[in-house]
Amino acid sequence: MRRPVVDMAVCTLCMGCIELCPEVFSENDAGYIAVADLKVYPEKLVEEAIKYCPVDAISWEEE
């Protein structure tokens, strides 16, 4: 099982990942990017978000 993680130290809050993949990425109350807790992540969409992210803040984390 692996899940996407966002490195908030580099994320610029461009919101691109939310536009691409709103079922996984959202903005939380604190104004940071939250990753939904899903059993299965839409691999292709997450891969697209990883490729899209201008600062390479998104990666897979093995659980």
Return the residue of 3, 16, 47, 48 that touches ligand SF4, per CB under 6 A: 16
How many angstroms separate the Cα of 17 from the Cα of each of 29, 42, 58?
17, 13, 9
Among positions 19-58, residues that touch ligand SF4 (CB under 6 A) are 33, 52-55, 57-58
According to the binding rule CB under 6 A, does residue 14 interact with ligand SF4?
Answer: yes
Q: 47 in helix, strand or coil? A: helix
Quick one: DSSP state of residue 54? T
How many CB atoms lie under 10 A from the CB of residue 12?
A: 10
In the complex, the smallest distance separating the C-beta of residue 1 from ligand SF4, rounded to whole angstroms, is 21
- Residues of this chain that bind ligand SF4 (CB under 6 A): 6, 11-17, 33, 52-55, 57-58
